[in-house]
Amino acid sequence: MRTTLKHSLKHSENFKQQLLVWAQQFDDVVWIDSNDHSGKYSNFDAVLAVDAFTSIKTDYIDAFERLNEYQQSTKDWIFGYLTYDLKNTTEDLKSQNFDGLAFPDLYFFQPKKLFLVKGDEVEIQYLKMVDDEIESDLVKIQESNNLTVQKSNDLIKIKLRIHKDDYFDKVNKMLAHIQRGDIYEANFCQEFYAEDSQINPLETFNKLNAISKPPFATFLKLEDKYLLSASPERYIKKEGNKVISQPIKGTAKRSEDKNEDNKLKEALSKDEKERSENIMIVDLVRNDLSHTAEKGSVKVEELCKVYTFLQVHQMISTITSRVSENIKPIDILKTTYPMGSMTGAPKISAMKIIEELEETKRGLYSGSVGYFTPDGDFDFNVIIRSILYNETKKYVSYSVGSAITAKSDPLKEYEECLIKAKAMREVLEN
């Protein structure tokens, strides 16, 4: 079905940038870059999929069933995204808040052209119908350079969808729900946006990625809609019969002073509120994975381990399970979606309260981008630390959130949101 060619690279970082510049000519692009975070569960340094041969685009109604049919019939690499609003297909929920971006609820495509970068080698896989273009494409890629990327000089004026006093009021309403016992924890998000604004998506992505260097960076293009993501978080991965989920809960700022930075990291690892947030979500993920897991196979491999990124320290846990061969890949997604770190506990009550208190439809924010391999393995991130852009509507958006628990202080939650928003704001406001 695919013609494969392996090509050795002299300068892999340079080649990655050339690949991304070359990819801009296509309507369907998914680029995933690990930024050299070679963790235990990483497969590739970077992946590029372009040029749809077949695709599926749908709203939330029966979305997982339709994706299952598509994945089972294609039996090939497919790339795409799940929006947060697929919650409405698995539960009796609604998404009625304002949406300035208008991404379809679910989109996947089968790429004609695929590049898998690992170390100093790229594996190129083209569908047979275009395999006569491999050599000429390689020449064009190596001629691509960043000088062809137009700089955006427009001044972007960021507005808040929820102002500070309203934010405090809403967090207090959420705390009242917690005190009443409706929920233990919920992820509450707010949108920052700019109207009538134009950005250069590739330039913006490169700046955001350079500031953060996260392990799940993503550039996604679907015609006139773009996701520019510096996500540090994996939602879920399937590797053979093993399933891996790595929720993040717990954030601390960095310091340029080494001693101070180490103290901030140490304080995060011992912070009672942050640990309890993380452990609640670990319990939720264990429960979600148990729906498809072989009995007794759900394990917590790492609990509340602190990892350091360029902008922040983060507390990450790793939960794994084993699944039998008769479990369909989509069933694993359907029974764990949306991810616990972006919802709360209990999950359905938290999602109802989130919908009631937030002002914006989440859409692709707090959804997931990823891919399926021909044999049904998959890997998906969590869409956070991301800029979303509708080029036709000239609408730019980024959202940030934090987990509200009984121990939350509205001012500290607000400050945490501002720390998370810092990179996106810097990039957009130059």
Domain contains 403: yes
Read off the pLDDT of each residue in 180-193 and give the average, rounded to a whole number.
97
Which among 185, 191, 233, 358 is annotated as catalytic?
233
User: How high is the mean pLDDT of the chain?
Assistant: 96
Residue 430 has pLDDT above 80, yes or no: no
Report d(CA 255, CA 369) in Å as an integer: 31
Q: State pLDDT tens for residues 119-154.
A: 999 999 999 999 999 999 999 999 998 666 666 667
Domain contains 315: yes
Which among 207, 221, 249, 420 is annotated as catalytic?
249
Domain contains 150: no
Domain contains 82: yes
123 is an active site residue: no
Looking at residue 155, what is its pLDDT?
83
Residue 1 has pLDDT above 90, yes or no: no
- Percent of the chain clearing pLDDT 90 (strictly above): 94
Domain contains 51: yes
Asked whether 292 and 258 are in contact (CB, 8 A), the reply is: no
- Percent of the chain clearing pLDDT 70 (strictly above): 98
Domain enclosing residue 385, as ranges: 2-145+155-429
Count of domains forming the chain = 1
Report d(CA 371, CA 86) in Å as an integer: 17
Looking at residue 349, what is its pLDDT?
97
Asked whether 288 and 87 are in contact (CB, 8 A), the reply is: no
Looking at residue 148, what is its pLDDT?
62
CATH number of the domain to which 36 belongs: 3.60.120.10
Residue 353 has pLDDT above 80, yes or no: yes
Residue matched to tokens 């699944």: 323
- List b or e across 24-41, with b for residues whose CB sees 16 or more CB atoms inside 10 angstroms: bebebbbbbbbbebeeeb
Looking at residue 307, what is its pLDDT?
94
Read off the pLDDT of each residue in 318-325 and give the average, rounded to a whole number.
97
Residue matched to tokens 């922040």: 312
Q: State pLDDT tens for residues 272-284.
A: 999 999 999 999 9
Read off the pLDDT of each residue in 406-424 and give the average, rounded to a whole number.
94
Residue 54 has pLDDT above 90, yes or no: yes
Domain contains 269: yes
Report d(CA 175, CA 156) in Å as an integer: 34
Looking at residue 39, what is its pLDDT?
73
233 is an active site residue: yes
Looking at residue 189, what is its pLDDT?
98
Q: State pLDDT tens for residues 246-299.
A: 999 999 999 999 999 999 999 999 999 999 999 999 999 999 999 999 999 999
Report d(CA 318, CA 71) in Å as an integer: 27
Looking at residue 226, what is its pLDDT?
98
Report residue 38's pLDDT band, with 50, 70 and 90 as the boundaries: confident
Read off the pLDDT of each residue in 63-91 and give the average, rounded to a whole number.
97
Report d(CA 294, CA 241) in Å as an integer: 10
Report d(CA 266, CA 252) in Å as an integer: 10
